[in-house]
């Protein structure tokens, strides 16, 4: 093996090889049963739960020195969470390259977004997941939700969507909208906006999900059917703000709202900073 040893004394990518093997085994199982939550022995990580400990462990287990890592938080590469995770890997994974460019990345760890640039074969998406159980709010008993998954008994989830429409006239979840994976397992897509849900469907990239506190992994292999739950007469709608990006002018991207002053002034900008920057460069050229 020509793997360079990290100078700091850490194992490559922080986790010991035994832990990586355990996580990879769980990931293989997760890939083999798309959408099914696989338990794993989540390790203590040098950052608190809620900061992406699940995603980091998955990334650490799959990444190698020849990889190129991109980390985004809410679509941005330059937020505290994204920056600290990127720095962490730069320190514990010598040889690893980092990037802000979606197209250059081989592994993309994300919190709350899927990049606007279409993913391609060979890329790995790693999602940070706070709550892996889509039925969590409807059925708090863990043993019972496991049973419901085993029996594909998802009427309850549909009841929740029914209630949303009855109360609000439309399906209520604007993010973490539940999906059916491969026609079999109900899955939480993590708190990505519903706007991003369609990007999961038949994606050429491998999609891995890690929930550190809940100690669960799950996966969507490339080219897998991912359907957002809906009704025939109330089809799923990938909602976005009705506006355009103030920086690049895009009308087809997911937008963040910015308050510009204290008199109600506001504007929209692309949530995906890399995509927005690339568009502006192309325009300038």
Site residues, another protein (CB under 8 A) = 147, 150-151, 153, 155-156, 158-159, 162-163, 165-167, 230-234
The active-site residue out of 248, 249, 264, 265 is: 248
The CB-of-33 to another protein minimum distance in angstroms stands at: 17
**245 is known as an active-site residue:** yes
Q: How far is the CB of 167 from another protein (least distance, A)?
A: 7
The least distance separating another protein from the CB of residue 166, rounded to whole angstroms, comes to 5
Clarify whether 243 is annotated catalytic.
no
Nearer to another protein, 227 or 244 (CB): 227
Closer to another protein by Cβ: residue 22 or 165: 165
| Active-site entry in 64, 172, 245, 264 | 245
Q: How far is CA 272 from CA 32, 77, 105, 144, in A?
A: 31, 8, 15, 38
Cβ burial of 155 (10 Å; 0-12, 13-18, 19+) is: exposed
Residue 248 bears catalytic tag: yes
Cβ contact 255:241 at 8 Å: yes
- Taking the least distance from each CB to another protein, the nearer of 104 and 163 is 163
Closer Cβ to another protein, 223 or 231, answer by number: 231
- The token duo for 121 is 């074969």
Indicate which residues carry an active-site annotation: 35, 245, 248, 270, 276
């Amino acid at each position: 093996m020509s793997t360079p040893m990290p100078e700091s004394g850490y194992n490559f990518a922080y986790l010991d090889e035994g832990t990586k093997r355990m996580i990879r085994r769980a990931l293989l199982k997760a890939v083999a049963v798309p959408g099914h939550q696989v338990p794993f022995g989540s390790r203590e990580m040098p950052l608190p739960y809620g900061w992406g400990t699940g995603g980091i462990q998955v990334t650490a287990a799959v990444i190698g020195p020849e990889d190129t890592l991109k980390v985004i938080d809410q679509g941005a590469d330059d937020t505290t969470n994204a920056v600290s995770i990127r720095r962490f890997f730069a320190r514990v994974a010598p040889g690893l390259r980092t990037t802000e460019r979606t197209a250059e990345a081989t592994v993309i760890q994300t919190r709350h977004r899927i990049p606007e640039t279409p993913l391609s074969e060979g890329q790995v998406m790693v999602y940070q997941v706070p709550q892996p159980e889509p039925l969590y709010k409807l059925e708090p008993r863990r043993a019972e939700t496991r049973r419901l998954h085993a029996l594909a008994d998802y009427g309850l989830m549909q009841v929740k969507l029914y209630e949303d429409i009855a109360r609000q006239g439309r399906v209520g979840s604007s993010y973490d909208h539940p999906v059916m994976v491969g026609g079999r397992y109900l899955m939480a897509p993590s708190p990505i906006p519903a706007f991003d849900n369609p990007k999961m469907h038949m994606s050429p990239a491998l999609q891995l999900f890690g929930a550190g506190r809940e100690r669960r992994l799950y996966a969507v292999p490339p080219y897998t059917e991912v359907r957002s739950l809906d009704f025939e007469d109330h089809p799923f709608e990938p909602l976005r703000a009705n506006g355009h990006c103030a920086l690049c002018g895009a009308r087809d991207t997911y937008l963040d709202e910015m308050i510009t002053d204290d008199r109600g002034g506001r504007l929209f900008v692309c949530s995906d900073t890399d995509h927005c920057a690339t568009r502006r460069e192309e325009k300038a050229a």
